[in-house]
Amino acid sequence: MADPSDYNGLEIAVIGLACRFPGADNREQFWNNLKDGLESVTVFTDEELRREGVTAEFLSNENYVKAGAVLDRFEYFDERFFGYSPKDALVMDPQVRLFHEVAWESLEDAGYVPDTYPGLIGVFAGASSNYNWNARVYSYEGEHRDAFSEIQLSNKDFLASRISYKFNLKGPSMTITTACSTSLTAIHTACRSLLSGECDMAIAGGSSILIPHRSGYLYQEGHFLSKDGHIRAFDEQASGILFGNGTGAVVLKPLENALADKDHIWAVIKGSAVNNDGNRKAGYMAPSVEGQREVIESALQVSEVGPDSISYIETHGTGTQLGDTIEFTALQKVFHTRQSPCILGSVKNNIGHLDAASGVAGFMKAVLALKHRQIPPMVNFAKSNPLLEMEKYPFAINTKLLDWPLSPYPLRAGVSSFGVGG
């Protein structure tokens, strides 16, 4: 960590991590996959797709992409450990089930048991809309139904408060929804709550599980989905996104308190910022150069650090032509005065776009990279998109595992996440 003289009293320590991401049941597997440059995308057989209900019409369509970034054993859940009946667990949204597990594991990683912790623990998290799961639950016609309880169990909006109830946590409990930026916004909101004294420790993160789970999608020219089932952020062959599945949680505490309590500190959050584009863009779903530039500059200002001190940026990096171009333009407006290259990366190339969980996935990648002092290679990257003119600006993308470059500054990384709607 940096010299304590660099601290301004607003720093937040990351003291616990837990995740389920494609190809990784825990943070150790996740890091190993990242540093080894693995892409955790599965190509499905026709038989697998038929079992998920994919019709012969889709299977024979040459534009149907038979790929996805899936989780092993996502349907398993130890309901007794968390005090649920088998019936309740069956109805509960898988996103909520898995977040129970990573929230608990993140507390274990931090070394805390809720029942014995004397302070207030807050929960800040969000999940993706899960229309197919809700349709299954609401269409069930079994006997002795309790429709009100089923709605609560299957509704992702009760995610945070259900964790607080089951873990007996008495700090603020907020379900956050900002589309693709949900989980990073949850981390930002948790930091604000800690700094204001609303809670002493916080769990923050997000969850996104697609139902049906092992199925592909229909590629359409001009839309945002990848043509071949791969995300290639900032690459000349980028054709769009591939949705993935995952859930992640981090435990946060004010740095001063974490040091006093002798917690294991994974990384330190110097500052964060959030904003909205307003109408400064082509349409509601489009990103904005100025909106992204402003929020990055605000984060640097709050953190009291300059662009020169950031040596790695975990970008939003969706692999869409419009999204990559706008994000890169915003970055070069902020970092154009750098004297040495800043390295860019995107975890989406490895595990797909995790929607509500994508922010926490990128955040964890940055934290683990800082901890190990290594920057994982960017998979699916061969040549930069010529529209970016990357060679004119102080940025670089590594395709091999890289020891973190030395500089006059402490090791520092930025993490971006941008949601539909601004």
Q: Provide the annotated active-site residues.
A: 180, 316, 353
Per-residue b or e along 179-200, where b marks 16 or more CB atoms closer than 10 Å to that residue's CB: bbbbbbbbbbbbbebbeeeebb
In angstroms, the CA 347 to CA 242 distance is 12
CB 208 within 8 A of CB 96: no
Strand runs labelled E in 5-89: 12-20, 42-43, 64-65, 67-68
Q: Is 395 helix (H, G, I), strand (E, B) or coil?
A: strand
* Residue 101 φ/ψ, nearest 5 degrees: -65, -50
Distance from the Cα of residue 117 to its chain's centroid: 27
- For the record, the structure tokens of 299 come out as 């984060």
The residues pairing with 124 across neighbouring beta strands, listed in sequence order, are 174, 204
Calculate the CA 417 to chain-centre distance.
Answer: 8
How is the chain split among helix, strand and coil, in percent rounded to 5? Answer: 40, 15, 45
Q: 217-218 and 64-65 as β-strands: parallel, antiparallel, unpaired? A: antiparallel
| Packing angle of the helix pair 289-303, 321-335 (nearest 10 deg) | 40
